[in-house]
Amino acid sequence: DVKVTQSSRYLVKRTGEKVFLECVQDMDHENMFWYRQDPGLGLRLIYFSYDVKMKEKGDIPEGYSVSREKKERFSLILESASTNQTSMYLCASSAPRGYQPQHFGDGTRLSIL
């Protein structure tokens, strides 16, 4: 089975801090994704990566950056955390081709105080 592991299930940080969310997958997938999930808004794509060191902006990239130095790891960075970034963050990975399903991690519930 595909395993997508997010480093923290719950995280509390302060406004202005630099926050790192880590995601690791064990299936050698080329594609990795970061989503934000908010009630009533569904999942919104923040960034995705289709190869090492490659990244593309999603629908809501403002205030976030990403890093993919190794194929299995995709990090989401909040450069200067703000209270409106309090949310559930989901990481996913998939093999190439659009019909391949995405496999999700358990999510990180991030609170910015």
Residues at the site binding another protein, with contacts judged by CB under 8 A: 31, 33, 40-45, 48, 50, 56, 58, 90, 92, 94, 96-102, 104-107
90/112 with CB nearer another protein: 90
Closest to 66 (Cα-Cα) out of 29, 57, 88, 103 = 57
58/63 with CB nearer another protein: 58
Q: How far is the CB of 83 from another protein (least distance, A)?
A: 23
Q: How far is the CB of 64 from another protein (least distance, A)?
A: 16
Is the separation of the CB atoms in 71 and 50 below 8 Å? Answer: no
- Count Cβ atoms within 10 A of the Cβ of residue 90 and give its class: 0-12 exposed, 13-18 middle, 19 or more buried: buried
31/85 with CB nearer another protein: 31
According to DSSP, residue 97 is labeled S
